[in-house]
Structure 1
Amino acid sequence: MTTGYLILFTFAAVASVVLAWRRRAWLVTVGLALFALYPTGQLVDRTPVWLLVAIVVLTVVVAWHRFFRTSATVTRWGARIRRKSGVASTFDIARVGSGMAMRRKAATVRPSLSRATRRARWWQLLRLPTREVALQLCKVGLLRVWISSEDVLVVFGGPRTGKTQYLAGRIIDAPGAVLVTSTRTDLYEVTAPLRARRGPVYVFNATGLAGLQSTITFDPLTGCTDPVTAAERAADMLGAVSAGTGRGGAGEREFWDAQARRVLAALMHAAALGGASMRDVHAWVSDPDAGQARITSLLRRSPEKAFETDVAQFVSTNSRTRTSITSTIMPALGWLAHPAAAAAAQPSSAGFDVAELLESRATVYLLGGEEAQAAPLVCALTGHIARQARTLAALQPGGRLDPALTLALDEAALISPVPLQRWTADMGGRGVTIVAAFQSRAQLLARYGDNDAAVILNNAAAALLFGGTRDRDDLQFWSTLAGDRDEPVLSTDVHGHRSTRTVRKVPVLAPAQLANLPTGRVVAFRRGMAPVIGRAEQAHRRRDVRTVLTGHTPWWTRLLAALARGLARLRLRRPLSTPTVRPELVDDDPWVIPPEWTATSGPTGDGDPGEPGRWS
């Protein structure tokens, strides 16, 4: 056969194989492929080597291009969704969200590990608990789904759905310092005994919940001698009360909030420079004319001259504008009327050292409630700790804290509405782990607004959804986020015989399925893989929590301890020569063998001291 006919025959055979493969005729494809081997081999023998190399290179380039072009990528993704029913497979979890995947990033999350040699680092990673560098989302069968501790996690769940119990587990497992905000004492009661084993525990109880005494105080004027700190503190305190008020339109609300921030920052800066208190600030806001002379004299010491201009403008403006600014500021100072909150905000001679808190891996519980208007205080203290930690992180190797500071913000929209739209963008890279819990997405929208809520959700690497929500928009949002899948539909004739097979698009997770999730079940939306449905860890089922709360050691722990004691005794029950002992220790140490005992005379197993036996 000539070379031309051989080429034509080979091309026809290969084309037949491709056509059969595209029509999914697998047996025909295999048969034609075997048939095409002979002409292909003959053609290879007659072709020069350089031409074969060129053909192979060209084929690889064309195949690579076709494999990664947009249409091929979309086709593969569609096939993957159909094959996996729109959810993450076991391989996806192992590749993206497993403990081993998290430990591979340990040198980045924990810069102290990168200073070891490569062999020592690998040995450290094998022994390193995953919770030291990651947050557990849920369990799916035998696997656990994790996210890195440098990622942001938002949790959504209504009352009594297991959200708080899940958050308690993340507080217990946190490797470094932890800041906890809550409107109740249940997180403190569950986690404080276990966190005390890792470092000191502090309580800032601005509302006197359950009669729990505050062990630390925080004056909002701390650090306000710096103009930047004063501006940030004023923004934190006003942000705790201004969001979601619905006062006028959005543009009007932003205008008055901006005016109030300027005035409050100037007054707090003046009070810090003059050694005044927050009650003086309250008096200045109530009657700015009476305090104008003192405020002006104090602000002359400031390097920021704009504050003096802001106060002068506030005092000299018309009464209607001044009243609007005053009414915007006053809710942020309402806690002064609550005795417990006012006591928690008293200046402390010891101060509040954030560096020491991080070094000792301490846990700070910030408790508050809306009825006492304590949110501005809690928000101010949270902002102070987080910003100080960010400043200290810049001085550390890798520009991040090691281990990370964990911000566990339970009921964040109610008691600690910190500026998450900004913090979620860069706090993770500084070694600050953010776990924010909300009752629903609607609550997030009400507190932060549509735009800022969208920013928070986009910056979060994972969202954990508990059941219980009944809001239609929320359910439709999460269902849309989960996507669609192909569901086969079998059509039958009147005789019950299958006639056709079609495919229809259905949601991977229907809104009704999301609304009726059982208690403890969650849907985890993690960046980099499809959603998964698993079980969230409940703190009251953990062995360490049950031991602390009940005071009883589990039976398997007692069994292991008994076995260890038995092995210790067996190591002593071996033949010995006459031991050398110190007589002065015989009466004090019960394990010292008396000198009159020998290897052939001593106490036996039946308690007779006169018969030969082994040591007991």
Structure 2
Amino acid sequence: MAAMMKAFARQGKTNRPPLAVDVGCLVEQPRRHVWLQHRDGVIVHGPTGAGKTWRVAWQRVIDAPGFVLATTTKADLVAATLTERAARGRVAVFDPERLTGWPAGIAWSILAGCTDPDTAIRRADALARAMPLEGTRNGAYFEQKAATMLRCCLHAAALRELSIREVRVWVSARTNHTPVDILADTLPDWASELDQILSSASESSDDVLAAASRLLEPLASPTLLAAVDIPVEQSFDVAEFVLSGVNTLYLVSKGTSRSMAPFVAALATEVHHVADRASQRAPSKRLDPPVRLVLDEMNNVAPIPDLPQIMTDSGGKGIMVWAFAHNQDQNELRWGAEGGRVLAQSAPAMLVLPGLRGVEELSALSRLIGERRRWEASLHEGSRTYSLHDDTVLRADEIRELASDHALLIYRNAPAMLLSLPSVWEYAPWRHTVTASTRVFDDIVAGRRPPPRPEHSDPQRRREGGPGDE
């Protein structure tokens, strides 16, 4: 473990971004490090308490060479990484539910940019697809229709410079045809689609309205509404923040059914969209330094649409995704059986932490790792004979019972590897960094010191935008 700590410390002493990510050391050869490329997407499976935060997520936020988007359901990851990230760039916290107590949270208008129909489509799609299907019959149909209704309302509100409050009123009242009237002049086909939903007397239409209303239900809380109900010109500038330095954006939500998770997911989707577009304008068609998305509780807090596909093609654009989930069953519940399998199988790397309990997943992992072939000697009537035997490399119970500081890495076409993943609490410099950062965070929350400002210090540069905005 000491060798890994020294390598991590060397990374912090140079201004040149590391060319790879030090994931851990081989259990049987602790001096040998395992490195992943920045283009490798990684899915991490581990139940609550398995060490996702302190053995993996903290390290990936700290060692990121460029912009980081970090999602979480509680304050600990924000508090533990705050000072390290603030020393390298700006930090911003989107915490609409005020779970962290952060006093200077950003506000982001979901309507910003929705005068562009394509932006309205993207936002509505992210909102609608953030709602778990939960086994609903014809769930995909209702998701699609809810997205149609929301994109029409978002675009109509943006055109008239209205607020998300009006959108919520429109969605909850079948008899309100204001958005239809607004769209009739500019996008008559959209107006027709929306009118069909509102005018239909079928039960399916009622279900679509109920699904759209459910997405906006959290906005009944004035506290939650304030995080997204802001004039467009005062809204958090996503593109400027993502593309203007080694900045960090924390997105925080409980991820429950009545939380602001759909809006958090929409903001995460916008971050990926900005990075994706910027990569294609870069000379090498990839971002340098790379952008990193550390998606803790991805299925509940940041289910970015098409995440299974994003895991496969974003790496070549300089966008590295670390997606954290409890297990494969949770993936399939969130993305459907096929989407969950694609997500697990499309990631170039999978990191399995101790304590998984799904028999099917454990058995599948054991079969995937395969068998090792060995010669076995036997004596029969005084003569020795040899025969080949196939032994399972890791049984399902051995994967479940991994030591608390171990993890199983399955990477591309390489043999599976057992890694040692030290916790931040096991190494004094890391422990000191976390406790000092948490102390600063607590002082900021208590009002004993001012928070770092998410805005750029130079107003002129903020107006002009950051690199890649042109």
- TM-score under structure 1 length normalisation: 0.64
Q: In the alignment, which residue of structure 2 is the partner of 1:340?
A: 223
- The offset of 1:297, in angstroms, is 3.0
1:320 to 203, 206, 217: 203
2:333 to 439, 442, 446: 446
Q: Output the CA distance in 2 between the equivalents of 1:541 and 1:130.
A: 27
* Alpha-carbon displacement from aligned partner over 1:6-45 (angstroms, at most 9, x marks no partner): xxxxxxxxxxxxxxxxxxxxxxxxxxxxxxxxxxxxxxxx
Q: How does 1:179-194 map to 2 (within 5 A)?
A: 179-194=69-84
Q: In the alignment, which residue of structure 2 is the partner of 1:350?
A: 234
5+ residue gaps in structure 1?
A: 1-99, 101-124, 553-616
Q: In the alignment, which residue of structure 2 is the partner of 1:138?
A: 24
Q: In the alignment, which residue of structure 1 is the partner of 2:253?
A: 368
Q: In the alignment, which residue of structure 1 is the partner of 2:410?
A: 525
Change in Cα spacing, 1:544 to 1:201, as seen in structure 2 (3 Å) is farther
Q: Residue 296 in 1 paired to residue 188 in 2?
A: no
Q: Output the CA distance in 2 between the equivalents of 1:483 and 1:338.
A: 52
Q: Output the CA distance in 1 between the equivalents of 2:253 and 2:411.
A: 31
Higher gyration radius (CA): 1
- The offset of 1:360, in angstroms, is 2.5
Q: In the alignment, which residue of structure 1 is the partner of 2:466?
A: none
Q: Output the CA distance in 1 between the equivalents of 2:356 and 2:148.
A: 39
1:258 to 140, 144, 167: 144
Q: Residue 154 in 1 paired to residue 38 in 2?
A: no
Q: Output the CA distance in 1 between the equivalents of 2:180 and 2:210.
A: 22
Change in Cα spacing, 1:131 to 1:492, as seen in structure 2 (3 Å) is farther
Give the 3-state SS of the residue equivalent to 1:379 in structure 2: helix
Give the 3-state SS of the residue equivalent to 1:325 in structure 2: helix
The residue type equivalent to 1:242 in the other structure is P
Q: Output the CA distance in 2 between the equivalents of 1:370 and 1:132.
A: 33
Give the 3-state SS of the residue equivalent to 1:154 in structure 2: strand
Q: Output the CA distance in 1 between the equivalents of 2:98 and 2:350.
A: 32
Q: Output the CA distance in 2 between the equivalents of 1:549 and 1:485.
A: 42
Q: Residue 409 in 1 paired to residue 295 in 2?
A: yes
Q: In the alignment, which residue of structure 2 is the partner of 1:602?
A: none
- The offset of 1:493, in angstroms, is 5.9
Contact 1:355 1:392 in 2 (8 A): no
Q: Output the CA distance in 2 between the equivalents of 1:405 and 1:340.
A: 31
The residue type equivalent to 1:196 in the other structure is A
- The offset of 1:131, in angstroms, is 6.1
Contact 1:137 1:146 in 2 (8 A): yes
Give the superposed CA RMSD.
Answer: 2.4
1:473 to 351, 354, 360: 360
Contact 2:287 2:318 in 1 (8 A): yes
Q: Output the CA distance in 2 between the equivalents of 1:309 and 1:236.
A: 22
- The offset of 1:538, in angstroms, is 2.4
Moved more, 345-354 or 514-523: 345-354
Q: Residue 431 in 1 paired to residue 327 in 2?
A: no
Give the 3-state SS of the residue equivalent to 2:408 in structure 1: strand
Q: Output the CA distance in 1 between the equivalents of 2:342 and 2:121.
A: 23
Q: Output the CA distance in 2 between the equivalents of 1:347 and 1:134.
A: 40
* Alpha-carbon displacement from aligned partner over 1:471-514 (angstroms, at most 9, x marks no partner): 100101111110111244343469xx784333322211110110
Comparing both structures, which one devotes a greater share of its residues to helix? 1
Change in Cα spacing, 1:549 to 1:463, as seen in structure 2 (3 Å) is closer
Contact 2:80 2:435 in 1 (8 A): no
Contact 1:136 1:147 in 2 (8 A): yes
Change in Cα spacing, 1:363 to 1:435, as seen in structure 2 (3 Å) is same
Q: Output the CA distance in 2 between the equivalents of 1:315 and 1:467.
A: 50
Q: How does 1:70-469 map to 2 (within 5 A)?
A: 132-140=18-26, 141-165=30-54, 166-243=56-133, 245-248=134-137, 252-289=138-175, 291-292=176-177, 294-302=178-186, 304-347=187-230, 349-357=233-241, 358-371=243-256, 372-419=258-305, 420-469=307-356
Moved more, 129-138 or 173-182: 129-138
Q: How does 1:460-539 map to 2 (within 5 A)?
A: 460-492=347-379, 499-539=384-424
Give the 3-state SS of the residue equivalent to 1:406 in structure 2: strand
Give the 3-state SS of the residue equivalent to 2:130 in structure 1: helix
Q: In the alignment, which residue of structure 1 is the partner of 2:456?
A: none
Give the 3-state SS of the residue equivalent to 1:147 in structure 2: strand
Q: Output the CA distance in 2 between the equivalents of 1:299 and 1:425.
A: 37
The residue type equivalent to 2:82 in the other structure is A
- The offset of 1:518, in angstroms, is 0.7
- The offset of 1:457, in angstroms, is 2.5
- The offset of 1:234, in angstroms, is 0.9
Contact 1:368 1:374 in 2 (8 A): yes
- TM-score under structure 2 length normalisation: 0.84
The residue type equivalent to 2:174 in the other structure is P
Q: Output the CA distance in 2 between the equivalents of 1:158 and 1:130.
A: 35
Give the 3-state SS of the residue equivalent to 1:262 in structure 2: helix
